[in-house]
Amino acid sequence: MSNPDVIVVGSGASATSAALPLVRAGRSVLMLDVGNRDTRYAPLIAPAPFSSLRQTDEGQHRYFLGDAFEGVPLGQARAGTTLTPPRQFIHRDTHRHTPLCSEGFFAFESLALGGLGSGWGAVAVQFDDHDLADFPIKHRDLAAHYASVSARIGLSGARDDLLPYYGDCASLQPALDLDSNARLIYQRYERKRERLNGAGFFLGRARLAALSRDLGDRKGHAYHDMDFYADNGRSVFRPWYTVEELGAYANFRYVSPYLVNRFRELPANSGVEVEAVDLTLGRREYFRSRCLVLAAGTLGTARIVLRSLGGYGTRVPLVANANSWWPCLHLAMLGKPADDRRHSLTQLAIVFDPGHCGRIPVHAQTYSYRSLLLFKLVKEVPLAVPEAFGILRELVNAFVVVNFFHEDRPSPDKYCALRRGESGQPDVLEIRCTIDREVQRRQVRTEKALLRQFRRLGCWPVKRISPGYGSSIHYGGTVPMTVEERELTVTPECRLRGTRAVYLVDGSVLPYMPAKALTLTLMANAERVATLLNGELARTCVAA
């Protein structure tokens, strides 16, 4: 494909959401991606329930533990420690091609086909106007795109107490079935709703990009509890399905493994030139197009922008949802058997809005615990391993793990800067983040206030696990969307300032991180930008 209309960098949730409307509108699109895949483990996993694989599959150790025991994380829980061996390809080669040096930030990037979305937890909620208060766009700018992305990827959930916070969705499928643990919590919540709501505690079914009913050739969830390992039935949305769908169009081409270094705009409005390294041959190549769409992830896009605009050493902001885990004991489940039929994703979600003002400081998600296996929990118990295993075996059905996500704002103490690599080595992205002590104390206070209400549902917190800032893998803000003209920002249409035809469509453009999962918004925004870009391309064609 020579001189396509648009080059898209990346194949993740953002890149594919930008490419699809352009391709459907007849634009020629070239997607450049590193595009690592898992060819080792996926073929080993039969589409069967976790319990029967544990009892019958003689080769199960390979995908549960890993051929090199890479599924057994040692040390403190950090970003990506829940990723099982079949999901670890997501992170492969990043230390080599996109090195980082960070202090106070635990970064996790992807060079995979489908990006981080090849292992995401599929929580998919809308940002409302409270969340978008610090953005130069409003919910009405995204509404049509939330609707079309949701219908395309398939969302399940319920119109319950969380609806005012999550937004409605015409194509919403019924929520996935709750497991025994979550069902009891939900029943108790229904009895105590009034009092809990009075304290600003709202509980509901998770809103997930996971099917409860068939959609096209994807299947409704089979409740095998294997979501951390396999994509059975394609029930959980992964961006690589969209790359496959795009592959059916003659005006689309996917090229990998290419690592994009930089771009430059060509004189006389004649488009953009992209420099990339063919990672198979180790050779630089140049591609030209009318426009460029960058979706290499919040940190990856920052690297490309800084390198292209000569911004070595320049500090750019970074935001991320601070997160923590609280294992809780659900007393009503003690000694009770748990359902075998279940999914492994978020069961219930909690919005905490103590001020009843709509702008929430924290969002929490609950999980039951089984298929991640007990050895991951054992090291968190202050007992000898055999005793810890014995106790955990008795308690595991009664565990509810609550995962908290806090809002985050930019500050001068949180930034990254690109350092030029020495003697042919790759450039290094340096990240420095210091979190204000008072902000941290406030976050813990908010978590404890929420958990006080959770105790009314019979769930008693055991301990707080803090995997460190950055471990949420919800990143944004490196080249934010602003109204005012500033260097290293994008316009509300996400055009990089100082360029004519370079657009950014991933987390890099989020000026602020609301306390909600970001990816559905990244996808809706990418589709919005691509739709505007398509109009722009049509106008320039007519003018020419």
Binding-site member from 18, 53, 123, 206 for ligand FAD (CB under 6 A): 123
Does 18 help bind ligand FAD (rule: CB under 6 A)? no
Which residue type occupies 494?
C
Of 459 and 522, nearer to ligand FAD (C-beta) is 522
Contact 307, 299 (CB under 8 A): no
Residue with tokens 């648009």: 6
How far CA 22 is from CA of 113, 237, 362, in Å, comes to 20, 21, 36
507 binds ligand FAD (CB under 6 A): yes
Nearer to ligand FAD, 364 or 517 (CB): 517
Q: Which of 32, 362, 479, 515 binds ligand FAD (CB under 6 A)?
A: 32
Comparing CB distances to ligand FAD, the nearer of 184 and 473 is: 473
Q: Which is nearer to ligand FAD, 30 or 296 (CB)?
A: 296
Lay out the site mask for ligand FAD across 217-256 (x = CB under 6 A, - = otherwise).
Answer: ----------------------------------------
Our finding on whether 35 is near ligand FAD (CB under 6 A) is: yes
Tokens 């003689």 — which residue?
A: 58
Tell me how far apart the alpha carbons of residues 82 and 344 are, in angstroms, rounded to a whole number: 12
Q: How far apart are CA 233 and CA 244, in angstroms?
A: 15
CB-CB contact of 264 with 307 (8 Å): no
Report the residue from 6, 7, 8, 13 that binds ligand FAD according to the rule CB under 6 A. Answer: 13
Stretch that binds ligand FAD, among 27-35, 130-138, 199-207, 451-459 (CB under 6 A): 27-35
Is residue 158 within 8 Å of 174, Cβ to Cβ?
yes
Q: Measuring CA to CA, which residue among 364, 434, 432, 407 is closest to residue 513?
A: 407
Which one of residues 28, 84, 88, 110 is an interface residue with ligand FAD (CB under 6 A)?
110
User: In the window 464-483, what residues touch ligand FAD (CB under 6 A)?
Assistant: 473-474
**211 CA to centre of own chain:** 18
Cα 90 to Cα 93: distance, rounded to the nearest angstrom: 9
Torsion of CA 99, 100, 101, 106, to 10 degrees: -140
Give the binding-site size for ligand FAD (rule: CB under 6 A).
38
Q: Is 11 in the site for ligand FAD (CB under 6 A)?
A: yes
The CB-of-114 to ligand FAD minimum distance in angstroms stands at 6
- Asked whether position 410 contacts ligand FAD by CB under 6 A, the answer is no
What part of residues 275-304 is at the interface with ligand FAD (CB under 6 A)?
Answer: 295-297, 300
459: helix, strand or coil: strand
Asked if 112 and 88 count as a contact pair (C-beta separation under 8 A), the reply is no
Coil vs helix vs strand at 274:
strand
Q: Report which of 354, 347, 403, 415 is spatially closest to residue 517, judged by C-alpha positions.
A: 403
14 binds ligand FAD (CB under 6 A): yes
Q: Does 71 bind ligand FAD (CB under 6 A)?
A: no
- The dihedral built from the CA positions of residue 424, 427, 430 and 431, taken in this order, carries a sign that is negative
Comparison of 277 and 395: residue with beta carbon closer to ligand FAD? 277
Residues with Cβ < 8 Å from 308, sequence gap 6 or more? 262, 263, 264
Using CB under 6 A, pick the residue from 18, 53, 100, 111 that binds ligand FAD: 111
Q: How far apart are CA 114 and CA 33, in angstroms?
A: 9
Nearer to ligand FAD by C-beta: 239 or 458? 239
Binding segment toward ligand FAD, per CB under 6 A, in 107-115, 375-383, 401-409, 444-452? 107-115
Binding site for ligand FAD (CB under 6 A): 9-15, 32-35, 83, 110-112, 115-117, 119-123, 258-260, 295-297, 300, 473-474, 506-507, 517-519, 522
